[in-house]
Amino acid sequence: MSWFTKTFSSTIGRKIVMSITGLFLCSFLVVHLIGNLQLLASDGGDAFNVYSAFMGTNKVIRFMELILVLGFVFHIYDAIVLTRRNKSARPIDYAEQRPQENSTWSSRNMGLLGTVILVFLIIHLYNFFVPARFGGLDTVSIDNEVYDNLYAEVIYAFSQWWYVLIYVLSMIALAYHLIHGFQSAFQTLGLDHKKYTPFIQKFGYAFSILVCLGFAAIPLYVFFFF
Amino acid sequence: MDLTLRVWRQKDRNAAGALVTYPVKGISPDMSFLEMLDVLNEDLLIRGEEPIAFDHDCREGICGMCSLFINGRAHGPEKGTTTCQLHMRHFKDGDTITIEPWRAAAFPVHKDLVVDRSAFDRIQQAGGYISVNTGGVPDANAIPIPKSVADKAFDAATCIQCGACVAACKNASAMLFVSAKVSQLALLPQGKTERKTRVENMVAQMDKEGFGACTNTGACAAECPVGISLENINMLRSEYILAKATSENL
Ligand code: HEM
Ligand code: SF4
Ligand code: FES
């Protein structure tokens, strides 16, 4: 093995990959949330549809989309490798355990939380990304130009109570994933300092809750007020 | 006090083990947990049964030999305490106490509550030392070390290699132990010469032994009897990243 593969297949190296991809995914969440907030504009969805057409065609965005897919792939791949390794590191479990005395629930259940996010991601891509990218949407004309009406598709999905429920529960899982994950990612990179770590921890906590609340508020708002 | 113990009994490395229930009577609250086990073992000997094997040596909290996962916690319910320093006054008359060995693939059960912790020794041998050349003894005061650095190195050096960090971690990760050993030496001038090769080799050995990866749950530091802090794990990582990026080892 070369030094490079040795580094990134070590337990510390794999966590470095998870940390960098995890933080990159956090930045993607911010962009995605800002885009989604246009759903709430009272313009019949014009701004959102123009925006989603831009996101689907712009070359820079398409390139970033590729990076994003790779980010997810590496994050999930190393999550599976490490979670399996960690399970086999303790083949016989304790008969009695009191882990609540020494660690937080979310820190112990990142794999479970990640799996919930993954299932949501698949449903989410199937409902919105696939028709938006590969066709199947109705069209709408805005300023004499024809656009795919992704807005209508989203509003329709958000009018079903069970879809809203899945969405909100998944955002709760994401929030817990990030409450542990955001600050953990900095530790994984060895970035720890008396001066900055308390700020990173507080920021990560606020970030996790605000971003996930932002995402969850949209389907709830559409369901109850549209 | 009268207690009911559920103790892991296992004949040898290859045998299947099980929890066996033993009543113990007349335990003084001033006894240590190990003394309580001594009382039970004397009873067992008198009855012609095999006494329970458990590790211990100094019985004063400094050697790191004692272990035991007591009621779901490494070294029992008290913070910053080894099992030999855990007193029975922290339990109540009539309690049922479950006693299990450290559980980790890298720490195979040798017999009953005794586990083989030589994986730690092999990690130490991979780099947890400094090579001292012969010659005159240098004047200790000739090497200036800031007080805060000396304190951190000293704190890391208090690790007694007990393995509670591995036992408490849901991933059976040895990061806290390895980080204590790495930062103790990396912080001091004498340890800096070999610092890159040391961290690379010790981490490689840690992975080879089959310990899990760190998820930053913090369970290790919370259960460590001498209070090794998570700061050391982060230092281990920055040492590792620096070494991998800049060492000459391919
Ligand atoms: C938008 C989606 C996601 C974001 C923003 C995200 C973010 C993060 C971050 C920041 C970490 C901390 C990394 C570290 O401790 O160094 C993390 C850890 C983790 N993620 Fe994700 N993640 C996402 C999706 C997923 C998915 C889909 C899975 C699983 C299939 C997953 C599984 C995990 C696991 C298991 C860990 C813990 C790894 C460990 O500490 O051993 N994540 N994630
Ligand atoms: S770090 Fe603490 S818990 Fe781990 S081996 Fe050292 S003294 Fe024991
Ligand atoms: S027997 Fe030495 S530390 Fe407990």
User: Last residue of some domain: B66, B89, B110?
Assistant: B110
Q: Is the pTM of this model over 0.90?
A: yes
Q: In this structure, what token pair is assigned to residue B145?
A: 């070390």
Distance from C-alpha of A170 to C-alpha of A39, rounded to nearest angstrom: 19
Which of B215, B223, B228, B231 to probe the A interface (max A CBs under 10 A)? B215
| pLDDT digit string, tens, across residues B211-236 | 999 999 999 999 999 999 999 999 99
Q: What secondary structure, in 3-state letters, does chain B show? A: CCEEEEEEECCCCCCCCEEEEEEECCCCCCCEHHHHHHHHHHHHHHCCCCCCCCCCCCCCCCCCCCCCEECCEECCCCCCCCHHHCEHHHCCCCCEEEEECCCECCECEEECCEECCHHHHHHHHCCCCCCCCCCCCCCHHHCCCCHHHHHHHHHHHCCCCCCHHHHHCCCCECHHHHHHHHHHHHCCHHHHCCHHHHHHHHHHHHHHCCCECCCCCCHHHHHCCCCCCCHHHHHHHHHHHHHHHHCCCC
Distance from C-alpha of B224 to C-alpha of B221, rounded to nearest angstrom: 5
Question: Which ligand 3 atom is the nearest neighbour of the CA of B57?
Answer: 1
Provide the phi-psi class of B107: left if phi over 0, else alpha when psi is between -120 and 50, else beta.
beta
Is A194 a residue whose pLDDT tops 80?
Answer: yes
| pLDDT digit string, tens, across residues B148-197 | 999 999 999 999 999 999 999 999 999 999 999 999 999 999 899 999 99
**Mean pLDDT score of chain B, rounded to an integer?**
96
Amino acid identity, position A205: Y
B105 falls in which pLDDT band (50, 70, 90)?
very high
Kindly state whether residues B140 and B220 are assigned to the same domain. yes
Q: At what angle do helices B118-125 and B195-208 cross, to 10 degrees?
A: 150
Kindly state whether residues B124 and B205 are assigned to the same domain. yes
Is B141 a residue whose pLDDT tops 90?
Answer: no
Q: Report the Cα B209 to chain-centroid distance in Å.
A: 15
| Across A83-93, average pLDDT | 97
> Are B66 and B55 spatial neighbours (Cβ–Cβ below 8 Å)?
yes
Amino acid identity, position A103: S
Give pLDDT, residue A226.
85
> Are A51 and A149 spatial neighbours (Cβ–Cβ below 8 Å)?
no
> Are B194 and B130 spatial neighbours (Cβ–Cβ below 8 Å)?
yes
Is B133 a residue whose pLDDT tops 80?
Answer: no
Q: Which of A91, A89, A87 is nearest to A111 (CA)?
A: A87
A210 falls in which pLDDT band (50, 70, 90)?
very high
Kindly state whether residues B105 and B127 are assigned to the same domain. no
Provide the phi-psi class of A81: left if phi over 0, else alpha when psi is between -120 and 50, else beta.
alpha
Mutation to probe ligand 1, out of A73, A110, A112, A205 (largest number of atoms < 8 A from CB) = A110
Interface residue A191 vs chain B (CB under 8 A): yes
Full residue range of the structural domain in which residue A113 is found? 3-225
* ipTM of this complex prediction, to 2 decimal places: 0.94
| pLDDT digit string, tens, across residues A121-133 | 999 999 999 999 8
Kindly state whether residues B193 and B218 are assigned to the same domain. yes
Kindly state whether residues B86 and B177 are assigned to the same domain. no
| Across A190-215, average pLDDT | 97
Kindly state whether residues B242 and B217 are assigned to the same domain. yes
Question: Per this entry, what is the length of chain A?
Answer: 226
> A32 CA to middle of ligand 1, Å?
18
Kindly state whether residues B155 and B185 are assigned to the same domain. yes
Kindly state whether residues B238 and B217 are assigned to the same domain. yes
Count of structural domains within chain B: 2
Q: Would the CB atoms of A12 and B237 count as touching at under 8 Å?
A: yes
Burial of A102 (0-12, 13-18, 19+ CB in 10 A): buried
> Are A86 and B213 spatial neighbours (Cβ–Cβ below 8 Å)?
yes
Count of structural domains within chain A: 1
Kindly state whether residues B132 and B93 are assigned to the same domain. no
Kindly state whether residues B52 and B127 are assigned to the same domain. no
Kindly state whether residues B128 and B196 are assigned to the same domain. yes
The rounded percent of chain B whose pLDDT value lies above 70 is: 100
The rounded percent of chain A whose pLDDT value lies above 70 is: 100
CATH code for the domain in which residue A57 is found: 1.20.1300.10
User: Last residue of some domain: B110, B129, B147?
Assistant: B110
Give pLDDT, residue B136.
84
CATH code for the domain in which residue B231 is found: 1.10.1060.10
| pLDDT digit string, tens, across residues B29-43 | 999 999 999 999 999
User: Last residue of some domain: B50, B79, B110?
Assistant: B110
Give pLDDT, residue A136.
85
Distance from C-alpha of A86 to C-alpha of B170, rounded to nearest angstrom: 8
Full residue range of the structural domain in which residue B191 is found? 117-246
Kindly state whether residues B87 and B155 are assigned to the same domain. no
CATH code for the domain in which residue B27 is found: 3.10.20.30
B140 falls in which pLDDT band (50, 70, 90)?
confident
Is A47 a residue whose pLDDT tops 80?
Answer: yes
> Are B219 and A102 spatial neighbours (Cβ–Cβ below 8 Å)?
yes
| pLDDT digit string, tens, across residues B118-132 | 999 999 999 999 997
Q: Would the CB atoms of B213 and A13 count as touching at under 8 Å?
A: no
